[in-house]
Amino acid sequence: MLLLVAVCGPVGAIAQTPPTRLGGGVDAPEPPPPRYSTAYDGALTLVREGRPSEALIQIERALKDDARNPQLRFLKGVLLAQNDKPGPAEAVFAALIEDYPELPEPYNNLAVLRAQANDWEGARQVLTRAVAALPTYALAQDNLGEVHLRLAEQAFAKAAQSTPPGEPAARKLGLTRELIQQLNSLSAPRPTAPGAAPGAAPGVLPRPGAQSDPRSGVSSDPRPGAASNPRPDASPPARSP
């Protein structure tokens, strides 16, 4: 299952990510310290208390005075996604990518939402940009592998339609679908709510229309169709311009 980056870590102490690496493997300068804010801490506390709607209101109010704050914007996108608002969430992550192309986490989360809409090619394109921004970003690499598997399934299915049963394309399609089923049967990490203790495993973002948020309870169907589902990243970007 592909994972989305959510928020974890104690209030006021967001987990740091490794230094950004630019294309071509050149180390980028160490980013400046993140801009922690009372508004972010307060919103995170509200989320921990199970009051995400109030957290969103506080985030919107804070963004009027600090419109470029990446942590506040990222948390807003996560909350929108978890509240079954994929369109607005995509807009938030897309805007973060435009303003902070060096941050890999928004790419991952945008890819998750696209995969949940069965836009596997769109997810591939975004994840490719994530690993270009940070080649050591294991979560995006893992997600990219699953997306390539889904794209392979689609290609083998088209090939099988034009060949007799038992031909290589049909056999490859069967093997690919078997592998997808095996991946889906793997034990998913326990979902964790934004603001949970450090080390908690990232959860799985529910597909649009699913019954519940996996960070407050396992979704009734965390997979888009029969597909393996993108995994959300577990920590917000901790860098600021």
Q: List the chain domain ranges.
A: 1-241
Lowest mean pLDDT among 48-57, 73-82, 160-169, 193-202: 193-202
Please report, as a single letter, which amino acid is at residue 119. D
Q: What integer pLDDT is reported at residue 191 of this predicted model?
A: 35
Cα 134 from Cα 18, distance rounded (Å): 9
The single-letter code of the amino acid at 76 is: K
Please tell me the predicted confidence (pLDDT) of residue 9.
38
Phi and psi for 141 in degrees, rounded to 5?
A: -65, -45
CA 198 to CA 234: how far, in whole Å?
Answer: 10
Predicted confidence at residue 185, as pLDDT, reads 81
Band (pLDDT 50/70/90 cuts) for residue 190 is very low
Give the mean model confidence (pLDDT) for residues 141-168: 91
Q: Provide CATH code, domain 1-241.
A: 1.25.40.10
Per-residue model confidence as pLDDT tens digits over 14-53: 233 333 332 323 233 334 445 556 888 899 999 999 999 9
120 closest CA partner among 80, 98, 149: 149
